[in-house]
Amino acid sequence: MLKLEQVSKTYGNKNEKAVDNISLEVHPGEIFGFVGPNGAGKTTTIKMMVSLLKPDTGRIFINGIDNQKNILEAKKQFSYVPDNPELFEKIKGIEYLKFLADVYEVPLTERQKQIEKYLDLFEIKDAINDPIGSFSHGMKQKLALVGALIHNPEVFILDEPMVGLDPKASFELKKIMREHCDQGRSVFFSTHVLDVAEKLCDRIAIIKKGKIIEVGTMDEIRTKAGSHESLENIFLELTE
């Protein structure tokens, strides 16, 4: 459903690669966690997946579509929520959601149903007619999540989604992620909250200095690490 083949990216004049020849695959119905220290290349990898950055080498397939060759079709397959959603401050919440429903060509009844459902879940119904500039960080995060879920994407890509969310919203998001995958779709998300990754993800990849150093289910990672400890301990051992 989401496939990266030998993807690399270098910034500016630096010789060091931000992402160094990484390959991974996310299967249908799978929640895939992407963990790594700060500056390891998580956000760069995600930005290449969602067509915000062009890889220097390698290919990325979203639902079987090459996101470099058939960019527009690839964009229809996913939705994305960045770690710090910068949204148009002068636009009202409802106008933002309508914009997304329009560009993803969501049918009228479907958009109304989806938006009502998620506004209820994330409890931002009362603020939806306010300018986004008046929203708190968490509310912006919730609005970006609602917007990303309107068209029920095949692949749901999130960068640090739990940051800024209140406990209830965080709980609801985890439920949504699981339900999304139960419908045969996929979720790919990066996180620093290793406890969440350990409990929620079907498979996990650990990235360090642009390279994937470990990938697999929790059990596979434990077996390879030769330990029965938590992901946190394994992560610390692997990334030190």
Is 223 a residue that touches other proteins (CB under 8 A)?
no
Selected from 28, 94, 193, 216, the binder of other proteins by CB under 8 A is: 94
CB of 47 to other proteins, least distance (A): 9
Q: With respect to other proteins, which residue has the nearer C-beta, 59 or 76?
A: 76
Per CB under 8 A, the list member of 134, 136, 227, 233 interacting with other proteins is: 134
Identity of the residue, 69 or 178, whose beta carbon is nearer to other proteins in the bound complex: 69
Least spacing, CB of residue 180 vs other proteins, in Å = 18
Count of CA atoms in the C-beta half-sphere (13 A) of 229: 13
Rg (CA), the chain: 18
> Which of 28-36, 37-45, 129-137, 173-181 is the region at the interface with other proteins (rule: CB under 8 A)?
129-137
Q: Is 88 in the site for other proteins (CB under 8 A)?
A: yes
Stretch that binds other proteins, among 93-101, 167-175, 202-210, 211-219 (CB under 8 A): 93-101
The first and second tokens of residue 105, run together, are 């060509």
Concatenating the DSSP letter of every residue in 28-62 gives TT-EEEEE--TTSSHHHHHHHHTTSS--SEEEEEE
121 binds other proteins (CB under 8 A): no
The DSSP call for residue 10 is E
Q: Which is nearer to other proteins, 78 or 235 (CB)?
A: 78
Tell me which of 28, 37, 66, 98 binds other proteins, using CB under 8 A: 98
Q: Rounded to the nearest whole angstrom, what is the least distance from the CB of residue 231 to other proteins in the complex?
A: 30
Contact 2, 25 (CB under 8 A): yes
DSSP state of 131: B
Give the Cα separation of 150 and 146 in Å (integer).
6
Is residue 86 a contact point for other proteins (CB under 8 A)?
Answer: yes
Reading across the β-sheet that carries 57-62, which strands appear in turn?
Answer: 17-26, 2-10, 57-62, 65-66
Residue number with CB closer to other proteins (64 or 133): 133
Selection from 54, 52, 53, 59 nearest residue 22 by Cα: 59
Under the criterion CB under 8 A, does residue 7 sit at the interface with other proteins? Answer: no
User: At which residue do the structure tokens 């979720």 appear?
Assistant: 187
CB of 83 to other proteins, least distance (A): 11
What is the separation, in whole angstroms, between the first and last Cα of the chain? 32
Place of tokens 């956000």: 43
| Residue found under tokens 């690490």 | 225
- The residue ranges that bind other proteins (CB under 8 A) are 12-14, 50-54, 71-73, 75-76, 80, 82, 86-92, 94-95, 97-105, 107-108, 111-112, 115-116, 119, 125-126, 128-131, 133-134
